[in-house]
A = this chain, B = another copy of it.
């Protein structure tokens, strides 16, 4: 059950850790399984990484480089806030595509003890937001904007990860993203692209009616009629 024999043990340990982490559905991965899969014994692991956490740090460092790279691949659009939006999306995508890595990086919260990865990710965002502030696009200090955006971004990603794949609704991400970015930005008209003003009153009314119907069942329509009516109502309240 051992891995490729030609790589040096250090690399095989990393590779084994990544592989086991990916197939373990969030359950803890034992050092024994790792060393076994790597075809190595325990002291080798501790010689190279000192610690189980050291090994995972190394794994996470690799993952974080992928993350940073994916954020850096984006060419600046010229509008810093649009860059921020794309970084948000990249963050979410990374979390969805590598949930195990993401959870090791962002999922283990300890009281009064913020993780390095969060700080590093914040620093990336901070760069863009500083430029946004220079351009006069922020109405709060960049430090505050960073924390709000980061908190929401992580919260949304964790929620999406925790949902069954089929139920995942990425509108949650777009909606929340635009909400927090709009709130920290001084540009008034940003929400326009998300919610066309012309349709909004229809949508609001449809949502209100839908809610009202669910709380009290009127007799004016038959069951089949009501079913179809709700279906159409639902279609109307979907802005997209």
Identify the A interface with B (CB < 8 A): 25-26, 99-100, 103, 107-115, 118, 130-131, 133-136, 138-142, 144, 147-148, 150-156, 158-159, 161-165, 169, 171-172, 175-176, 178-180, 182-184, 186, 190-191, 195, 198-216, 218, 220-221, 225, 229, 232, 235-239
Contact = CB atoms under 8 A, between A and B. Distances in A.
A129 to B, nearest CB: 9
Give 8 nearest A-B pairs by CB, closest first: A155-B155, A179-B183, A133-B211, A205-B209, A136-B208, A151-B159, A205-B208, A99-B111
A207 B112 contact: no
A148 to B, nearest CB: 5
Contact of A236 (B112, B169, B182, B221): B221
Contact of A148 (B133, B172, B191, B206): B172
Given A141-B210, A155-B153, A218 B191 contact: no
A156 to B, nearest CB: 5
A130 B207 contact: no
Given A211-B134, A221-B235, A162 B114 contact: yes
Contacts of A118: 159, 162
B236 A218 contact: yes
A195 B207 CA distance: 14
A103 B110 CA distance: 8
14 contacts: A100-B111, A103-B109, A130-B214, A133-B210, A134-B208, A136-B205, A142-B211, A147-B159, A148-B175, A150-B159, A153-B155, A154-B155, A155-B155, A205-B208
Contacts of A110: 25-26, 162
Nearest to A162: B114
A142 B212 CA distance: 12
